[in-house]
Amino acid sequence: MADPVRVIVVDDEPDLREMIAEYLRKHGFVVSTAGDGRDLDAQLAGAQPDLLILDVNMPGEDGFAIARRIRAKGTVPILMLTAGESVDRVVGLELGADDYMTKPFDLRELRARIQAVLRRTGRAQDPPPQQVPPAAQGARFGNLFLDLDAHRLLRPDGTELEITAMEFDLLAAFARNPNRVLSRERLLDLAHNRGSEPFDRSIDVRITRIRRKVERDPEKPEVIKTVRGAGYVFVPRKP
């Protein structure tokens, strides 16, 4: 049996770090916590974790300084927690963070992000691909399945098709509003939770990219259709 994934949660808010730790432990992770950089250093002197969850805004040595030190010594994956400022996200990624989450966040999404980082860095211990479980919460887009709990778009054989954060948000908005015409403005409202920048490219461009993944013929869409002058509508495949 593979060893469980070890995670260290570093945050100066005791309630938050314990909430994260408790949730991840329920899902099979081995989790320890630290309130600041000094606590973290003491733990790192023992054994390296598989992933580090690191808050940016901490008194004294902040998350950026800690990330810089950690990255100078090794390659442990780092997922940073930010207060929502885009400059925080940019600086964190420039320092070598592997991903970021904006507070407040959904714990299920945090777990999905952790799994994605572990897969990208080769530390995941995923089971062999399986068929999509019947009980999974989501929707079918053509031959693909959007798993809302795991934040993944799955092929028929259960393997994952990579999508961006905004693409997931748009697909989730459609999945929760089947057969309902959604205007571009409404789609932006529904898919705002990762903080789309004001100069993002248009919804139309993103829908075009999504169609290349979910439609048999992107030029003749059957899954996500255009309603001229109104927006888009998701038409689920009939069973």
User: Is residue 99 assigned to a domain?
Assistant: yes
The answer as to whether 129 is a domain residue is: no
Q: What is the tally of structural domains in the chain?
A: 2
> Does residue 128 lie within any of the structural domains?
no
- Whether the Cβ atoms of residue 79 and residue 100 lie closer than 8 Å to each other: yes
Claim: this prediction has a pTM higher than 0.75: no
Exposed/middle/buried for 42, CB within 10 Å: 0-12, 13-18, 19+?
A: exposed
Mean pLDDT computed over every residue of the chain:
83
92 with 175, same domain: the answer is no
**Which of 68, 85, 120 corresponds to the end of one domain?**
120
Q: Is the pLDDT of residue 18 over 70?
A: yes
How far apart, in whole angstroms, are the C-alpha atoms of residue 99 and residue 89? 9
Which of 25-39, 50-64, 116-130 has the weakest average pLDDT?
Answer: 116-130
**Which of 51, 85, 120 is the endpoint of a domain?**
120
Q: Are 224 and 215 in contact (CB under 8 A)?
A: yes
Domain residue limits at 79: 6-120
What is the reported pLDDT for 123? 67
Higher pLDDT, 33 or 102: 33
Is residue 144 within 8 Å of 174, Cβ to Cβ? no
Whether 148 and 229 share a structural domain: yes
Are both 197 and 112 inside the same structural domain? no
**Phi, psi values for residue 228, rounded to 5°:** -55, 130
The reply to whether 86 and 174 lie within a common domain is: no
Q: Report if residue 116 sits inside a domain.
A: yes
Q: Express each pLDDT in 76-124 by its tens digit.
A: 899 988 876 655 666 666 677 888 888 888 888 898 889 888 888 776 6
The reported pLDDT for the residue numbered 86 is 57
Euclidean distance between CA atoms 95 and 98, whole angstroms:
9
Contact 86, 41 (CB under 8 A): no
Contacts of 185 (CB under 8 A, 6+ apart): none
Q: Which of 92, 120, 148 finishes a domain? A: 120
β-strand partners of 161? 153
In a domain, residue 93? The reply is yes
Same domain for 66 and 22: yes
CATH of the domain at 24: 3.40.50.2300
